[in-house]
Structure 1
């Protein structure tokens, strides 16, 4: 019995293959430093956990509205006012089971079979696969490796066709850590409006930026689609909770899609997330951001001394995108060998597409500085011994 043809175009998430390799080594008793998964070593804030425990003990865990608990939607709207001075109608907020579900709702609401969405690369690998699941097509737009992975408006324009229906941009970016300025968002918004295409903004790493809060696309385009998540800033990866800010005209359609796609988001996660907006919890999350900045600063200083150049301006998230061309033209083989020989796990650039996937790797600084120093020492020894000729 044949499977659907879309299954032939959905590519594997290579980081999961790295995870399997890591777990196999750990079962052998190896000490592996995990610098490959997008999940820092912070537990969910205790106030969030305690709120969940209280809810389990004292509240019925019944279905909620398909768009989310009203109190949670209100808190999200208030954060847009507090962080960006934006008045967002809570009715435009659709609470979803994670950021991926938010993107899925947005795609289902806007795209027909054969429609195209422009995807700057390197980028999050699941985006193209989510498009395939709605029978749409992701069109890669390569970022410029010679200019800190800048997005060229000329390249964007060249990628547009009569089937173009959207542009998806992440800020802060995975895997680059780069952040869109307000002026850059304005140029992109003008580009989309001039062509009548949807602007999708992946803002799931908001709050985790090192030069102040990142601008939201909603500051320049009130009708853009915003994908958000509780996973990163609030440390709630396993709770599976996110949200979508939809244009006014699309709210009804998104609600109907949500009703049929997943009925409602996890009740316990929604109630727990309410605690995330408490002042003390938010301060705790910003303190964690400051620790991430210390990790970034250490790596940005030391990696170039090993011949590993950082390819973008990593002003947010917790990733560095690193050029390994001095040592290898095969990022998959390079990462596999480094993992086997040193116990340092990184993600090969092949997972993220773009102009140089085989000569780049993503490093996630998801362990503390002392642990990062151990990783750097291991990498230094490996590169010196294995690539002595290249290091002369």
Structure 2
């Protein structure tokens, strides 16, 4: 019997999907932990808080009651109504529950949006730096992400002027995130309004990833859904992973214009059947007052961590040109800390991991514009860990001077 492997051709689109360097760094860290090293993780963007107790209790009740069957492809009516009520309470917006599609995480929401709107040759504008999976969702449907270099002057975001300048014959829309991964920065309300109006005038779509929207620290959060001029071209993505601390439950949602409900439901039926039934029943409890009080207290703790880590990094010699106003990331310029033997952010990240056991992420994943000069630091870990990490980094850099 011949057990030799058989080579067969893979889909050509795989050539347009780059490896996720964050996960490679995580594997290196795991290998060091297996050797007995103590590693402080400031790489992957995952809250160190778990689901709130009322949410866990709701999941247990759903299992005990046997509520385990498929739901509608677009989600439990009770959950969609709860999300609609949350928009009303927090943002003062009337969002009809039928416009809300519950998905298997924000990733599935982005997948459905791109499957609906992107085709071969479609060009989608997004800032460089951006979360890498966003451009890969576009590539998966044979479109092309046009990465527009964006720096501190634009808060690492697209501006309306940039959208106007780079919109071409093949452009069909923009994909934004506010607040953003990797930078933790938001687009100002007025600027976002101008972008949405410009894209609408060109007959394009605007997808806004708002998964960190309620982790906004310095101002009252707002949703792009408040921009009524977005009309039929505005799609908003959100998630239970970040503010609601439900990463492994894989649950998110998107809000779509009326005319996209049926096409997206058709795709959801075929691609996913439905999001996790248990997760959906549990998530209804996220909007109970006792749950929201927990999430707000945790949000305050994230802000406390941000207010510690940003000045600490600056003291170490990193340049943080824009103080993050949301999410739980700092995007720091490490140029002044490079040397003859550590030539870029990737080499610096690996050296820091190997020598002092702190995981940070180079800009390599987030686009070429900032790849070699910036690192992303997640403060989604305890204050004790942050303080210990700063001391380790101080030791690391002191040994080089």
TM-score, normalised by the number of residues in structure 2 = 0.94
Residue range with higher mean Cα deviation, 348-357 or 254-263: 348-357
Q: Secondary structure at the match of 1:215?
A: coil
Residues 46-125 of structure 1 mapped to structure 2, 5 A cutoff: 46-125=53-132
Q: Secondary structure at the match of 1:228?
A: strand
1:262/1:26 CA distance change after superposition, 3 Å: same
Number of aligned positions between the proteins:
387
Counterpart in 2 of 1:205?
212
Q: Secondary structure at the match of 2:386?
A: helix
Counterpart in 2 of 1:308?
318
Residues 323-334 of structure 1 mapped to structure 2, 5 A cutoff: 323-328=333-338, 329-334=343-348
**Aligned 8 A contact 1:180 1:214 in 2:** no
1:266 matched to 2:276? The reply is yes
Q: Secondary structure at the match of 1:372?
A: helix
Distance apart, 1:21 and its partner CA: 0.5
Counterpart in 2 of 1:351?
365
Residues 343-382 of structure 1 mapped to structure 2, 5 A cutoff: 343-382=357-396
Q: Secondary structure at the match of 1:114?
A: coil
Residues 246-261 of structure 1 mapped to structure 2, 5 A cutoff: 246-261=256-271
Q: Secondary structure at the match of 1:209?
A: coil
Residue range with higher mean Cα deviation, 137-146 or 169-178: 137-146
Cα deviation per residue 1:302-321 (whole Å; 9 max; x = unaligned)?
11111111132300000000
CA distance in 2 between counterparts of 1:72 and 1:205 reads 19
CA distance in 2 between counterparts of 1:348 and 1:17 reads 11
Given candidates 227, 233, 250, the residue that maps to 1:240 is: 250
Q: Secondary structure at the match of 1:165?
A: strand
Counterpart in 1 of 2:3?
none
Cα deviation per residue 1:190-220 (whole Å; 9 max; x = unaligned)?
1211211100000001211102432111111
1:280/1:168 CA distance change after superposition, 3 Å: same
TM-score, normalised by the number of residues in structure 1 = 0.96
Cα deviation per residue 1:292-334 (whole Å; 9 max; x = unaligned)?
0000000112111111111323000000000000122411111
For structure 1, the residue ranges without an aligned partner over 5 or more in a row are none
1:288 matched to 2:295? The reply is no
Q: CA RMSD in A?
A: 1.2
Distance apart, 1:126 and its partner CA: 0.4
**Aligned 8 A contact 1:105 1:257 in 2:** yes
Given candidates 21, 30, 35, the residue that maps to 1:28 is: 35
Residue range with higher mean Cα deviation, 130-139 or 146-155: 146-155
CA distance in 1 between counterparts of 2:180 and 2:26 reads 22
Q: Secondary structure at the match of 1:326?
A: helix
CA distance in 1 between counterparts of 2:64 and 2:186 reads 41
Cα deviation per residue 1:337-391 (whole Å; 9 max; x = unaligned)?
00000100001011111522111000000112221111001101111112x1xxx
For structure 2, the residue ranges without an aligned partner over 5 or more in a row are 1-7
Counterpart in 2 of 1:317?
327
Distance apart, 1:155 and its partner CA: 2.7
Counterpart in 2 of 1:225?
235
Q: Secondary structure at the match of 2:372?
A: helix
1:12 matched to 2:16? The reply is no
Runs of 4+ aligned structure 1 residues displaced above 6 Å come to none
